[in-house]
A and B are shown apart, each in its own frame.
Chain A
């Protein structure tokens, strides 16, 4: 662990997990706490406590979550899908989340703030969060959920050409959903008496998710704002379609940033319908530009004005 991180580490880890030797008593307490978890979870937890190796964490986290998930939903966890949603897919409510947190805190000897919890929506979020936590790094950017109203308010693309119903954005990329209703204008002609979502529009939907990510997800350069009127499609590579998508299908879209350097941002993207692969693109590249500096200054001014109106202490670095 680098020395420079020492302060951050102390701040975040009041109960130092360090390499404090584990006593026989500690181990039996740990086994008792985890008695309803799988043997593999217990062994991973003991290994973590003995070695402080972050590589043991996923097994511990998944094992603890599994213990609190209703038995008939546990199979889902075996799929090792980091995008599994805690509430929607695993039926974990906020109280069960507290039970999970208390057990994780106990087992990993750490403390987790209520604030941080609110941002954890998926199994992957939890893994990344805990991983950052034990390494003494700041928690990752929170996952942001955007319902259709919010998508419409930020996107330059609008109905009837918007192919997103909802989206979640995190540092690592974006996920979106689009349900083919059967009412789409293009289905009237594509094809005659045989409505099929055009592959080109599936690609368009991925592109739109990438646009949303550029606008609302992480900014390529900290402090700069992407201009929503200046994002355009440039190219795509390695596109393959695996499944015909028809009315009633729910498209699960996913994009991940690969490279971003003004004025180009490249993503990989994929679409699934349930467990089926529907389409994938190795590279989708967009051009973009930033809002010019003066406008940014104005916006920063107004943000600062808002902040100083609220009874908050100024940041120490100011």
Chain B
């Protein structure tokens, strides 16, 4: 059976803008949540968020943006990007360097790119308003490319000369997990040798605050406790943005290039709740089905799973239904995989979440640890029977799962396997 490997990672996240910082944050449970200045207005009840650091993308004019010294981005590229376009461009450069890919290995018929982001609502509203105010012929020629959903892959595919498959995924918080799943298929089916998968979000007022209306955001003003999945005191998620890029490669490419992968992406599964547009199924029906399919796809028994990076966003309903889904899949066999949600550290990255957390799992598999549950002091009794780990465990897991669930009751589970030659 064809195998697919993770061979490169790039991170621009609230807990670090490079792999080693991210790994340290995960191990030490160092979170990226702050009192977010744009939320300071008296009429905004939400006060915290987990923005990326080292970038200033607040201006509506990309030429005003500032970003870390090590990156140089041409004006010609910036003009068609939203903030997360810039984050993903930087993460892409990291992933390419990390995977050790030459320009010819990036730009060829057998290398594709799948993206996931919600677009850039701030820029979209700005450009539409400008169109009404200044006239249709005075719109920025690339305003639409910079702002609509799909902008992340439009930019990266063009700027990096991607010649293989490219498209985007829109299943809200499951988007970049879907992108990973379908990228796995591209390689598994022999259509591509290599896939870049990008999850990204602006993570600003316009992507985060609309969730306040549905009462999904934490109103807790304390950055140190606002995001606490599975804790009895949780009251909603903390928003974040950034970008993560993963490089997936076929077994042949891994062998030809002689690289040591982070891990194998061993399979995936998806299923839907068919229940509510925004609320997860109370028993986690769709997620449980996705988990079973993922395990079946990877040929893995539930008992073999060592660690689950939960979707758990720190909302009262969502965390419990995920707990039920996990219980229904693992409970019967008596398996007790370690569980934690790294959203306690990063906040919830929406379309970014699946790729970011799969990237975290890949780091954990290579470096031999399982990140604990930050800010968990009072475990919700509804999940007390699950093996939710508090502290980081410095033990190499062999099989790891990553869960994601999005609006419309879309659920995706990804299975990763440690690479035997490492450790």
Contact = CB atoms under 8 A, between A and B. Distances in A.
Question: Is B a genuine binding partner of A?
Answer: yes
Interface of A: 36, 68, 70, 91, 93, 95-96, 98-99, 102, 105-106
A99 B74 contact: no
A70 B76 CA distance: 8
20 contacts: A36-B63, A68-B75, A70-B74, A70-B75, A70-B76, A91-B76, A93-B76, A95-B141, A95-B142, A96-B76, A98-B141, A99-B79, A99-B140, A99-B141, A102-B137, A102-B138, A102-B140, A102-B141, A105-B138, A106-B138
Interface string B133-177: 000011011100000000000000000000000000000000000
A168 B74 CA distance: 31
Contacts of A91: 76
Interface string B65-79: 000000000111001
Contacts of A98: 141
A158 to B, nearest CB: 40
Interface residues of B, number: 10
A70 B142 CA distance: 17
Contacts of A96: 76
A68 B63 CA distance: 11
A106 B134 CA distance: 10
A214 B141 CA distance: 39
A68 B79 CA distance: 11
A125 B76 CA distance: 23
Nearest to B74: A70
Nearest to A96: B76
Nearest to A111: B137
Nearest to A97: B141
Contacts of B79: 99
Contacts of B75: 68, 70
Interface in B302-349: none
Nearest to B139: A102
Nearest to A92: B76
Nearest to B142: A95
A166 to B, nearest CB: 26
Interface in B121-140: 137-138, 140
A99 B78 CA distance: 13
A105 B79 CA distance: 19
Nearest to A70: B74
A68 B74 CA distance: 11
A36 B74 CA distance: 15
Contacts of B76: 70, 91, 93, 96
Contacts of A105: 138
Nearest to A114: B137
A68 B75 CA distance: 8
A116 B63 CA distance: 29
Interface in B27-82: 63, 74-76, 79
Nearest to A71: B75
A105 B137 CA distance: 10
Contacts of A95: 141-142
Interface in B244-280: none
Nearest to B79: A99
B94 to A, nearest CB: 24
A70 B79 CA distance: 13
Contacts of A106: 138
Contacts of A99: 79, 140-141
Nearest to A99: B141
A95 B142 CA distance: 8
A81 to B, nearest CB: 22
Nearest to B80: A95
Contacts of B141: 95, 98-99, 102
Most buried by A among B63, B74, B79, B141: B141
A98 B76 CA distance: 13
Q: Give the 4 A-B CB pairs with smallest separation, nearest first.
A: A98-B141, A95-B141, A102-B138, A95-B142
A69 to B, nearest CB: 9
A201 B75 CA distance: 45
Considering residues B74, B137, B138, which has the most beta carbons from chain A within 10 angstroms of its beta carbon? B137
Contacts of B142: 95
Nearest to A36: B63
Contacts of A93: 76
A250 to B, nearest CB: 27
B349 to A, nearest CB: 31
Nearest to A102: B138
Contacts of B63: 36
Given A99-B140, A102-B140, A105-B138, 17 more contacts: A36-B63, A68-B75, A70-B74, A70-B75, A70-B76, A91-B76, A93-B76, A95-B141, A95-B142, A96-B76, A98-B141, A99-B79, A99-B141, A102-B137, A102-B138, A102-B141, A106-B138
A106 B137 CA distance: 11
Most buried by A among B76, B138, B142: B76
A93 B79 CA distance: 13
A95 B76 CA distance: 10
Interface in B206-230: none
Contacts of B74: 70
Contacts of A70: 74-76
B80 to A, nearest CB: 8
A106 B140 CA distance: 13
- Of residues A68, A91, A93, A99, which shows the largest number of chain B Cβ atoms within 10 Å of its Cβ? A99
B183 to A, nearest CB: 29
Contacts of B137: 102
A98 B140 CA distance: 8
